[in-house]
Structure 1
Amino acid sequence: MRGPHNIWRLIRTGATFERTGAMKIALEALDAPRSLRITARVLGWPFKWLGYKGDPSQPPVLRALTALGPAYIKFGQIMSTRPDVVGPDLAQQLRVLQDKLPAFPTETARAIVEQELDRPVDDLFSEFSEPVAAASLAQVHKATVRGSGDTVAVKVLRPGIERQFLRDVDAFYLAAWLIDRLAPSARRLKPRAVIEHFDSVVQGELDLRMESAACDEFHANTEGDEGFRVPKLYWDLSARRMMTTGWVDGIPFGEVEAIRATGIDMPDLANRVVQSFLRHALRDGFFHADMHQGNLKLAPNGDILAMDFGIMGRIDAYTRRVYAEILIGFLRRDYRRVAEVHFEAGYVPADRDVEAFAQALRSVGEPIFGHDASQISMARLLAHLFDVTERFGMETRTELILLQRTMVVVEGVARSIDPAMNMWQGAHPVVETYIADNIGPKAVIRDLRDTAIVLSRFGPRLPDLVNRALIRANAGDTEPDTAPLPVWLWLLLGAAGGGLLVALLELVAG
């Protein structure tokens, strides 16, 4: 699949943008260099007749993305949350991609549900509505569970979407290969690894059993979170190509004026969006990685309601600590410490100058402080950050791709609610709390306690492990120089030592 025939798909992508008139608009919105604009237009014009026509009634960029398919629609969804990057007019146009795409027939959805659950829809639901929302991969129907009377949302995958999406991703692999070959300076960005990561995310999103598990876990993690709610999952009404969750009523976050009309504190709501995301990422290491306006609602009581759990992110405990230290360093404007953390984590090659890197980070961070969002060009800031990372040879951290992308999306959502919102100020309380709980004396004691618990489990294996080590240390001797201790003594020492250490650490930590 990943052969030269994909060149045709890439050519057709550029041709579609040119034919629909989207090329010029997109390049200007992204503030592309003049040389790139000229090159793209010169190369795209001869092939424009090969591009998809799309729907002439749609604006050019929207027309191009919907014509090209679901993978491109996903990109448009991300850009719809960044009015500071693509401009408010284009961002507003692209919001249609979040949940207002053309739906497929209800009869088809009912057939999929019956096939997946092996029962007639009317036996499962007393009511099953026409589509209430349709996105790139699936659409949602409102239904009533027969018997219990619960009102639920039934999500059903589009027919044939798996093949269509994977075909688009296949072309992206070729694009990554071409970047590797034709732009050596870009190899540090690991384009193939980025596409592989995107591919794995998509695979999970196309199996609604995985999304069901993610919804269930996220619901359990956030059940005690004030002001943030996740709907309940119905396992008996979920399968590979459909899933069922509790229905949530609220105002979609894309309807900003309707939200404002409720009288809610808009700056506070914007901060809560950012803080909820960071709390889940840092506290749980499991976060909603597709938090655009189409997946968020405002409940009548002011709670944030999350939906659509096809893309979730995970980061391990060590990476969370590194990430938090980088954030808190920026928040405290301690660029030297931020630079040191990058070197300690191996994000920057060891042969680079830490002082020079700290100075470069200062040039990125300082323009943010003391200004609201309306005074900051995020497009230019991101371009500058890219220049800095390129100059110091930083490689793309594939485990952070979803986290970084989601931060961009979340900030875009928050700024749509409060244009003057400053991401750094909103992040401060959550990051400070995480640092206090996870980096310091208490965290060290907790880590030692956890290590002791793990070691104590090796008690029964200690005699054999030590005997083997002694045998290897005797350079060819078949038996150790000293007689091994009796097994019963090793067991006693292991259990007692581990137990005492755990008790001591709990006493100190408590």
Structure 2
Amino acid sequence: MLSKVNRYREIFTICAKYEIASWLGKLNLDFANDIFDKKCGKDLTQYSSAQRTRMAIAELGPTFIKLGQILSTRPDLIHPEMAEELKHLQSNVPSDPPQQVRETIHSEFGQSVDELFASFDLKALASASIGQVHLAQLKSGEKVVVKVQHANIEEKIRLDLEILLDLADLVERYVEESRNYRPRETCEEFKRLLLRELDFNREKRNLEKFALNFKDDKRVYIPKAFGDYCTGRVLTMEKLEGIPLSQKDTLLEQGYDVKELAEVGADMFLRMIFVHGFYHADPHPGNLFAMSNNRIGIIDCGMVGLLSDELREDIEDMLMCLVRNNGPKLTNLIIRLGSIPRDLNRAQLQSDIKEFSEYYGTMNLKDVNLQKALEEMSDLIRRHRIVLPAGVSLLIKVLVMLEGTSHNLSADFNLIGLIAPYRNQMIARRLSPARQKRIMENLFMDWERVVKTVPMGLVDIVERLQSGDVNIKFEHKRLEDSVNRLVMGLVISALFLGSSFLLALKSPPLISEVSITGIVGYVISIFMGSALLFRIYMDKYRIK
């Protein structure tokens, strides 16, 4: 308890020092009464509120730095100026001393560093918020990098997370305008993500899954994880021999085709998103390596995104609405996906989205800057106090970072142009028998759930109907004809729509790049539709 109180005092002292969160001083907490009365003694007038917030977060330590980095990807939650400032947060942390590294490895494997490795550089290559990286060589000869978790970091992070949840509750209680953004829920999601990163076995499994997904793609290289040398606190993986994409000048000096590297890297991420539904969530140029033959290698797979089929289809729809100038559908998608305030001005939202979609939807694909478009859409959503699901926000962040990383390599790079070929795959996947089967299975399960939860009173009514205790009498006229026409109309509509897709996809056989099957379907649907309309007209004439 004492350590928690001390940490509270430390957090409040830093907030007071940088003159942020002044509302904390109004809580009249016994252990903090004197903190906000003190003057910092440092002139902070030269710094903006966003800069002071970043400086405070950096001083608060690894947990808060991680939170700041995640919030920098959520312009739907915080002001764009604040989001941009938090992008500059660096998670450089002093590395553990060599003896501590030895002790950590021995406690995890029951063997010493010398027993496990042929060589091990005890000087850390890099040190971040959760762990540090060392170069090593296995006794079998492979060169590896070993990520070792900082000592006691889990205990420190869990304490900070507990305090963050307490502070989120206080924010919701005392800062009324924050309630639309659900601070408690945001912190709960952050807690879930951060605790996952503490388990290095998850990163090992992510590497293995990426390797499986790209086993047939020679352009992508996923480093091997050595399972016998991995635990929850130690990760051993193959050392990549390559140049980080952040070193553009070096890449050019070494004769790499940076335009091809940008396209290969971007296409790799698009496949992760639109094909696999499992993607690396941090496409920072330092995490991507150029290797021989313009292959792309990838590291730091601790943070990943997972898309359900439903969410992936919603995101695909959002992107298609953007390039097709379909403002009304984009508005409905945002309202359905997001958490909206009670006093949402729907008319103003529709007007803003219409203006947004008309601007981008009328451009040629090669002229659309997806990064700018997504940033503007995020700002629009924030202004209307709509909160998107964490999965959608994470994916928007990845697409924005991906466009930025690729554009830094090749000035004429255009991500939306690479997304366009996936459109046909999206349509084909939605028309596939597998998807229709899944829809029917889900529908069956939904109905099964409804049946199981029907109140006993309705069950009693059904039993009475079956026993003949209840008689229902109704009379209808020409209902059978109406039902037949309805069914026929649905069949004709399906045939017409399917023929449209076949024409759009240029499905073979083709004549002059026109689908014969699509044309035949069109003709049949028009003929059947005309016959149905004629029959309806004649029936009305006979009635008259």
Q: Tell me which of the two structures has the higher relative contact order, counting C-alpha pairs closer than 8 angstroms and 6 or more residues apart.
A: 1
The yes-or-no answer on 1:341 pairing with 2:341 is no
2:169 match: secondary structure: helix
Go from structure 1 to structure 2 and tell me whether the alpha carbon gap of 1:437 and 1:156 turns closer, same or farther (over 3 Å shift): farther
Q: For each residue in 1:277-334, what CA deviation from the matched residue of structure 2 results, as whole angstroms up to 9, or x when unmatched?
A: 2321232222112232332222133222111222122121101100111012112232
Aligned residue number for residue 140 of structure 1: 133
Go from structure 1 to structure 2 and tell me whether the alpha carbon gap of 1:312 and 1:198 turns closer, same or farther (over 3 Å shift): same
Count of paired positions: 434
CA distance in 2, matches of 1:327, 1:316: 17
Measure how far apart 1:474 and its partner are. 5.8
Aligned residue number for residue 400 of structure 1: 392
1:301 match: secondary structure: helix
Pick aligned residue for 1:208 from 178, 194, 200: 200
Go from structure 1 to structure 2 and tell me whether the alpha carbon gap of 1:145 and 1:318 turns closer, same or farther (over 3 Å shift): same
AA aligned to 1:127 is S
Aligned pairs for 1:186-265 (under 5 A) are 186-265=178-257
Aligned residue number for residue 289 of structure 1: 281
The yes-or-no answer on 1:73 pairing with 2:26 is no
Measure how far apart 1:412 and its partner are. 3.7
AA aligned to 2:283 is M
Measure how far apart 1:449 and its partner are. 2.8
Query: 1:229·1:305 contact (CA, 8 Å) conserved in 2?
Result: yes
CA distance in 2, matches of 1:370, 1:476: 60
CA distance in 1, matches of 2:351, 2:38: 46
Query: 1:15·1:44 contact (CA, 8 Å) conserved in 2?
Result: yes
Pick aligned residue for 2:308 from 316, 321, 331: 316
2:136 match: secondary structure: strand
CA distance in 2, matches of 1:377, 1:338: 18
CA distance in 2, matches of 1:469, 1:63: 58
CA distance in 2, matches of 1:384, 1:326: 11
Query: 2:315·2:392 contact (CA, 8 Å) conserved in 1?
Result: no
Aligned residue number for residue 15 of structure 2: 14
Pick aligned residue for 1:447 from 414, 435, 438: 435
Q: For each residue in 1:91-115, what CA deviation from the matched residue of structure 2 results, as whole angstroms up to 9, or x when unmatched?
A: 99x58x36x6543223322321121
Pick aligned residue for 1:118 from 87, 101, 110: 110
Can you give the 5+ residue segments of structure 1 that lack an aligned partner in the other structure? Answer: 24-42, 52-58, 483-508
CA distance in 2, matches of 1:178, 1:349: 20
Query: 1:6·1:174 contact (CA, 8 Å) conserved in 2?
Result: no
1:213 match: secondary structure: helix
CA distance in 1, matches of 2:462, 2:354: 58
Q: For each residue in 1:161-194, what CA deviation from the matched residue of structure 2 results, as whole angstroms up to 9, or x when unmatched?
A: 1123334334433443343234434323222111
CA distance in 2, matches of 1:246, 1:169: 33
Query: 1:157·1:241 contact (CA, 8 Å) conserved in 2?
Result: yes
Measure how far apart 1:45 and its partner are. 11
Output the TM-score relative to the length of structure 2.
Answer: 0.65
Output the TM-score relative to the length of structure 1.
Answer: 0.69
Query: 2:67·2:190 contact (CA, 8 Å) conserved in 1?
Result: no
Aligned residue number for residue 299 of structure 2: 307
1:217 match: secondary structure: helix
Larger radius of gyration: 2
Aligned pairs for 1:461-500 (under 5 A) are 473=459, 475=461
Taking only aligned residues, the RMSD between alpha carbons, in angstroms, comes to 4.8
Which shows bigger deviation, 204-213 or 288-297?
288-297
2:145 match: secondary structure: strand
The yes-or-no answer on 1:162 pairing with 2:154 is yes
Measure how far apart 1:204 and its partner are. 0.8
The yes-or-no answer on 1:438 pairing with 2:439 is no
Pick aligned residue for 2:124 from 101, 121, 131: 131
Which shows bigger deviation, 201-210 or 175-184?
175-184
Identity %: 23
Aligned pairs for 1:76-91 (under 5 A) are none
AA aligned to 2:124 is P
Go from structure 1 to structure 2 and tell me whether the alpha carbon gap of 1:388 and 1:449 turns closer, same or farther (over 3 Å shift): closer
AA aligned to 1:449 is K
Aligned residue number for residue 331 of structure 1: 323
CA distance in 1, matches of 2:349, 2:168: 28
CA distance in 1, matches of 2:173, 2:309: 36
Go from structure 1 to structure 2 and tell me whether the alpha carbon gap of 1:375 and 1:152 turns closer, same or farther (over 3 Å shift): closer
Query: 1:274·1:423 contact (CA, 8 Å) conserved in 2?
Result: yes
CA distance in 2, matches of 1:384, 1:450: 32
CA distance in 2, matches of 1:62, 1:301: 41
Query: 1:349·1:394 contact (CA, 8 Å) conserved in 2?
Result: yes
AA aligned to 2:437 is R
1:218 match: secondary structure: helix
Measure how far apart 1:336 and its partner are. 2.5
CA distance in 2, matches of 1:412, 1:223: 27
Query: 2:338·2:386 contact (CA, 8 Å) conserved in 1?
Result: no
Q: For each residue in 1:232-268, what CA deviation from the matched residue of structure 2 results, as whole angstroms up to 9, or x when unmatched?
A: 1111111111011111111123323222333434344
Query: 2:429·2:435 contact (CA, 8 Å) conserved in 1?
Result: no
AA aligned to 1:11 is F
Query: 1:110·1:121 contact (CA, 8 Å) conserved in 2?
Result: yes
Can you give the 5+ residue segments of structure 2 that lack an aligned partner in the other structure? Answer: 21-34, 44-50, 75-79, 469-506, 508-544
Which shows bigger deviation, 102-111 or 203-212?
102-111
Aligned residue number for residue 360 of structure 1: 352
Go from structure 1 to structure 2 and tell me whether the alpha carbon gap of 1:421 and 1:15 turns closer, same or farther (over 3 Å shift): farther
